[in-house]
Amino acid sequence: MNTAAESIIEVKGLAKRFGKVIALDGISFSVKRGEIFGFLGPNGAGKTTTIRILTGIIVPDAGDASIAGIDIQRDPLNAKMRIGVIPELGNIYVDLTARENIILAGRFYGMFRHVLEKKADELLKRFEIYERRNDPLRSFSKGMKQRVNIASALVHDPEILFLDEPTSGLDVQSQRLIKGIIGEINRKGTTIFLTTHNIEEANVLCQRVGIINKGRIASIDTPESLKRTFEETRSVTCSFDMPADIALFEGNSLVNRLDRMGDKWRLYTDNPDELVKYLASRASEQGLSFTSLEICGASLEDAFLRLTQGGERHVS
């Protein structure tokens, strides 16, 4: 089939409920061979549920998913041979050493011992944990455990790597190393599917980003265009000791949108720095004192609202 050559993951109408909770409400998307596809969404959006279905851990209530043209429900074993998974809560054994963990992972895929040992050492070096290879993971930091996790998922050279929030809660050095490795693996031809809360991470790493919220895809787009949406949802919130005249904000070219929240004003802007300076000068002219003033970064929730207001947008 023509599309199979282009897209390596195909998802159509996937739905999953847990009791009364609708985790996935009929999502459809595809991932192209060779790309880094980011799945961005807040807590409970359905990211992990999607990964667990795509990696054959749980079955959907409805819909289809295929990996490299193989139906994940009809032929799960074959599909699983082509993927590596770094789950949300890790996949490692703390009583084993770093090297033993990687070797154990390779044995699940039926790799020969001598190939596997060579590969394990290669991965340990690449992940900068070779010196600690014979220490049990119990003694490793979170970032180092995550490196072993990723190394174990790569041992059989998978076509697709699934990573569920790979850098969440890690120190900056481990984050940087892991992002670098994700980029490197991708340049060597592995397709990457990763979930994240982090807009910046999605921007830096991904060629396309799907935004999921409450079990629905709000948008699939390029990071540049999503970034624009996020930038437009930056804001400044402030309040004064006396009621401020709305004329202070209205009609100002720096203010894209204005919300009143109790005694606070929320001013959406592309340029928070300029707006704060403007507000300070006007407030002092009018004898107003700030009781609060805060620059709020782009919020995922605001961006979702914007993206969903215009209906679904898809860029292929």
Ligand X SMILES: Nc1ncnc2c1ncn2[C@@H]1O[C@H](COP(=O)(O)OP(=O)(O)OP(=O)(O)O)[C@@H](O)[C@H]1O
Note the residue count of the chain.
Answer: 316
- Closest contact distance (angstroms) between CB of 74 and ligand X is 23
- From the list 48, 35, 33, the residue with the least C-alpha distance to 182 is 35
Window 238 to 267, contacts with Mg ion (CB under 5 A) = none
Q: Which residues contact 69 (CB under 8 A, 6 or more apart)?
A: 1, 4
Q: Does 23 bind ligand X (CB under 6 A)?
A: yes
- Residue 159 interacting partner from ligand X, Mg ion, none (CB closer than 5 to 8 Å by kind): none
* Identity at 28, one-letter amino acid code: S
Window 87 to 146, contacts with ligand X (CB under 6 A) = 88
Q: How far apart are CA 148 and CA 192, in angstroms?
A: 18
- Residue 41 interacting partner from Mg ion, ligand X, none (CB closer than 5 to 8 Å by kind): ligand X
Among 6, 18, 142, 294, binds ligand X (CB under 6 A): 18
- Closest contact distance (angstroms) between CB of 88 and Mg ion is 5
- Closest contact distance (angstroms) between CB of 312 and ligand X is 18
Order of all β-strands in the sheet with 160-164: 83-86, 160-164, 191-196, 36-40, 208-213, 216-221, 313-314
Pick the closer one to ligand X by CB: 4 or 305.
305
Among 8, 30, 47, 92, binds ligand X (CB under 6 A): 47
Q: Does 216 bind ligand X (CB under 6 A)?
A: no
* 3-class SS string, 201-255: HHHHHCCEEEEEECCEEEEEECHHHHHHHHHCCCEEEEEECCCCCHHHCCCCCCC
How many CB atoms are located within 10 Å of the residue 76 CB? 16
Three-state SS for 296?
A: strand
- Closest contact distance (angstroms) between CB of 15 and ligand X is 12
Q: Which residues contact 285 (CB under 8 A, 6 or more apart)?
A: none
Among 48, 101, 190, 235, binds Mg ion (CB under 5 A): 48
Pick the closer one to ligand X by CB: 48 or 269.
48
- From the list 212, 203, 215, 181, the residue with the least C-alpha distance to 86 is 181
Cα dihedral across residues 171, 174, 178, 180: positive or negative: positive
- Closest contact distance (angstroms) between CB of 98 and ligand X is 26
- Closest contact distance (angstroms) between CB of 61 and ligand X is 12
* Region of 27-35, 82-90, 97-105, 181-189 interacting with Mg ion (CB under 5 A): 82-90
- Closest contact distance (angstroms) between CB of 211 and ligand X is 11
- From the list 205, 181, 151, the residue with the least C-alpha distance to 40 is 205
* Identity at 280, one-letter amino acid code: A
Q: Does 209 bind ligand X (CB under 6 A)?
A: no
Write out the two tokens for 215. 């079990």
* Region of 18-26, 63-71, 117-125, 265-273 interacting with ligand X (CB under 6 A): 18-26
* Region of 46-54, 146-154, 176-184, 267-275 interacting with ligand X (CB under 6 A): 46-54
CB 154 within 8 Å of CB 101:
no
Q: Enumerate binding residues for ligand X (CB under 6 A).
A: 18, 21, 23, 41, 43-49, 88
Q: Enumerate binding residues for Mg ion (CB under 5 A).
A: 47-48, 88
